[in-house]
Amino acid sequence: MNSTAEQSRLAEHYAGTKNWMKWGPYLSERQWGTVREDYSKNGDAWDYITHDMARSKAYRWGEEGIAGFSDEKQMLCLSLALWNGKDAILKERLFGLTNREGNHGEDVKELYYYLDSTPTHSYMKMLYKYVQAAYPYQWLIDENGRRGKHDPEFELIDTGLLNEDKYFDVFTEFTKNTEDDLLIKYTIYNRGNEDAELHVLPQLWFRNTWSWQPGQAKPEITHLDKNTLQLQSGAGTYYCHLQGDTELLFTENETNNERLYQSANSSAYVKDGINDYVVNGNQAAINPKKTGTKTALHYKLNVPAGQSMEIRLRLSATHQPDPFDDFDAIITNRIKEADAFYAGKQQKISNDDEKLVQRQAFAGMLWSKQYYFYDINSWLNGDPGQVPPPENRFKLRNHNWKHFIAENILSMPDKWEYPWFASWDLAFHCLTFAKIDPEFAKKQLRILVGANYMHPNGQLPAYEWDFGDANPPVHAMAAWQLYQLDKQASGKPDILFLEGIFQKLLLNFTWWVNQKDSEGNNIFEGGFLGLDNIGVFNRSAPVPGGGFLEQADGTSWMAMYAVNMMQISLELALNNAVYEHMAIKFAEHFLYIAGSIADIGGGSLGLWDDQDGFYYDLLRKPDGDYDRLRLRTLVGLIPMFAVLVFDETKWNKLPRLKEKLDWFMTERPDLVKLISFWKDTKGTEQHLFSLLRGHRMKLLLRRMLDPNEFLSDYGIRSISEVYQEHPYNYYLNGKDYQVRYDPAESDSDMFGGNSNWRGPIWMPINYLLIRSLYIFQEYYTDDFKVEYPTGSGSYHSLAEIADALGKRLKNIFLRDDKGERAVFGGYEKLNHDPHFKDYILFHEYFHGDTGKGLGASHQTGWTGLVALL
């Protein structure tokens, strides 16, 4: 494990001898739009702190910035500001549209790329592209506002402002010499054919804690000598060494109350003072005494056409007498070490383009770590000396989570659109992190199930917008996979991790059984479950006219949960016999769920439909009648995820489990016949637990692998393509609830119009489908073949089909025969320009027919799963 310098750093960090992760990319890119910063009366978080307000508002719970870096408590922060001499404001933070402004919901309108990172952040690199013309803020708002839901989004690339290459490429590189010695290099390229002026302003500041905690000592940044700043706080003293001529600008990280609220400022110098000085020439906006809690290093560059210029900084806990003598050598060495680390991870990959995509996927994961601070009790009650929160705060979102106190480094879906964790996203993140930093992944799961996060009733917080919502229970799956991946990498099983997570997930499993099974019949309504508008109705709201929606996915997720918990308890039982009883418990749960899926109402009415060979939701009406909603979506494929294969050796070591299952064979053959026959090893010494026997699996796969239904050139669509020409219609109480296949963004108004599960390809579900096929292959072997694609006459093993689906997903990102990447959606510049074509964006989801990237452009979080393919 310690064969490279980076692996040695990881070992030192987790041994506790050195804190290599004290500093990292822990700032958000959009602190506004979070529930934490929302102190409005109506809970309108998107509009409470607008982009225009952000430069003037001191945040309560966290900080934001372009290419942001901070310590692990986010006390001292560093990020990049730019000004091209034409914009009305400094470019200090990323710009985008709110849900209300975008024709498909919130959307960042910038071009930036995470290019590299090691797990300890010993070396990091990102790119921000900045146009030389005035940034088209209002144009982007107006044009997207004019467009409808059926129109594409209007992006920065669509403005034409990059057509003549009149833009800057600004590369940021962070390098660690030691835990507390950081080297920062900015390299600015003028891609245009004329010399161009650029103001580059690296900014250092302290997060404002003194305004919320009266009596706390205020930190201070001072000008120590010509090329050195001293930064003093309760966290210690640091020195920032500067290279080259620069103007030092000082102010305070405090709200400009005069501008925002027409009330008195607490200081003569406020947060937006640097902006007002540089852009508006207001000399009085900065402190002439060169002291404050925020400073900018103002470099005025004239970058020659086609050339580049560099700016170098060094932030250290010790004063460096010659800070730049070894600067280049340290960076060069760290780059070599990063290359060596990833060379070890990519030994089995021969294709250079695959290596590039995978490394940038890992980079996106690592850059998307964020300091997350949220004390709900303090948020509800307000801070001493501040304006009290509105009275209805205790009735708004998250008011029932008063125990919740978070102050952690977490993996975020992304740091612009979703600068808060989401529990089911995080489970998938851990799988990708397991390949490069399994200890960090294990810590993420431990945090999520810890007492500060998990509700006392056993519920896991869903996501900041509504902790009380229900996301799919995928955490036992994540824990088991993480355990296996870690065991493969380290050569030893981390039983303590597995046991600790299992104990907490017992509470969560019980919550699901008690809260989401309204009739106690082992059929789970679930509700939202993260798939937004995939169904006929809004699943976060009551069914129109009453009744319940018996969800094929809610019940299948729980079957998967039971199987995963059974699998974990089997592993633990080999070390501690007590857990054999837990294995029996979850085997029983799984059997009873299987029985309920087959027969809900006692009249042989189940979620499986023999006529179509598919699983469908059932609507249970107030009068006791049922309607089967014959809409083919991913919901009907999720039963494939409930699969477990274990070998004869383990089976023979668990006599009580064998005895109980034999009892079921005799006493409840009606249940046993519904699932795969675990007694039959097929001559491979493997036993199979699954909701699907071979016949039903073939029927499901016939649909899933049909190009006219789910199978796209780029993966599995979220609903069948047949609904494009023939929409599904369900009539209830005089209203037509129609669902149409929309390969890109949906025209549905559910969830504010930002719901897109009616056609596009989503990486996490595709990953689980592929994983399930590999597990089934372990049992069925190459003897079991399925037609792929449906109608082709060509038959393949399940492993071969899984490989082929993985290739389709990879082809979203990899260059094709024309040198183009499907993710770029046909943009000539993105596909062929040498300064664009190898910079990858990992979108939230992808066009069901073309593979074009859609939704959040940097949601590497779960799209980063492509790194595992």
Mean pLDDT of the chain: 93
Which pLDDT value is given to residue 807?
98
Query: In one letter, which amino acid is 519?
Result: E
Q: How confident is the model at residue 1 (pLDDT cuts 50, 70, 90)?
A: very low
Q: Which phi and psi (to 5°) does residue 506 adopt?
A: -55, -40
Q: How close are the terminal C-alpha atoms of the chain, in Å?
A: 22
Q: How confident is the model at residue 604 (pLDDT cuts 50, 70, 90)?
A: low
Instruction: Record the tokens describing residue 449, joined without a space.
Output: 């199930």
Q: Is the pLDDT of residue 371 over 80?
A: yes
Q: What percent of the chain has pLDDT over 90?
A: 76
Look at residue 447 and tell me whether its pLDDT is greater than 60. Answer: yes
Q: What is the pLDDT of residue 652?
A: 84
- What mean pLDDT do residues 634-641 have? 95
pLDDT of residue 474: 96
Q: What's the pLDDT at 68?
A: 98
Q: Any idea what the Cα angle at residue 444 is, between residues 590 and 22, rounded to 5°?
A: 170
**Inter-residue contact 99 to 752 (CB < 8 Å):** yes
pLDDT bucket at 160, cuts 50 / 70 / 90: very high
CA separation for the pair 415, 34 (Å, rounded): 11
Residue type, 336: K
Q: Is the pLDDT of residue 752 over 80?
A: no
Region 80-96 average pLDDT: 98
DSSP 64: B
Provide the token pair at 273.
């003072």
Residue 598: band (very low, low, confident or very high) from pLDDT cuts 50, 70, 90: confident
Q: Is the pLDDT of residue 601 over 70?
A: no
pLDDT score, position 178 = 98
Across residues 802-818, what is the average pLDDT? 98
Least confident stretch, 102-111, 412-421, 497-506, 521-530: 521-530
Pick from 67-81, 438-452, 747-761: least confident = 747-761
pLDDT at 681: 61
Give yes or no for residue 720 having a pLDDT over 80.
Answer: yes
Residue 579 near residue 572 (C-beta atoms within 8 A) = yes
What distance in Å separates the CA atoms of residue 419 and residue 413, rounded to the nearest whole number?
7
Helix (H, G, I), strand (E, B) or coil at 696: helix
Interatomic CA distance for residues 37 and 26, integer angstroms: 17
CB 453 within 8 A of CB 406: yes
Burial 159-193 (b: 16+ CB within 10 A, else e): bebbeebbbbbbbbbbbbbebbbbbbbbbbbbbbe
Q: With the C-alpha atoms ordered 469, 429, 415, 500, is the resulting torsion angle positive or negative?
A: positive
Which two three-digit tokens encode residue 579? 């857990």
pLDDT (tens digit, 9 = 90+) per residue, 165-203?
Answer: 999 999 999 999 999 999 999 999 999 999 999 999 999
Better-predicted residue by pLDDT, 223 or 540: 223
Give the confidence band of 830 by pLDDT, cuts at 50, 70, 90: very high
pLDDT over threshold 60, residue 603? no
* Average pLDDT of the residues in 707-717: 98
Query: Which SS3 state, helix, strand or coil, does residue 202 take?
Result: strand
* In the block, residue with structure tokens 């109608």: 791
198-230 confidence digits (pLDDT tens): 999 999 999 999 999 888 899 999 999 889 999
- Which pLDDT value is given to residue 677? 63
Q: Sheet holding 76-83: strands in order across? A: 23-24, 66-71, 76-83, 196-206, 294-303, 247-251
Distance in angstroms (rounded) separating the CA atoms of residues 577 and 649: 16
**Arithmetic mean of pLDDT, 51-74:** 97
pLDDT, greater one: 535 or 454: 454
**Residue 544 β-bridge partners:** none
Q: Average pLDDT in the 359-380 region?
A: 97
* Cα distance between residue 25 and residue 18, in whole Å: 18
578 three-class SS: coil
Distance between CA atoms of residues 731 and 729, nearest Å: 7
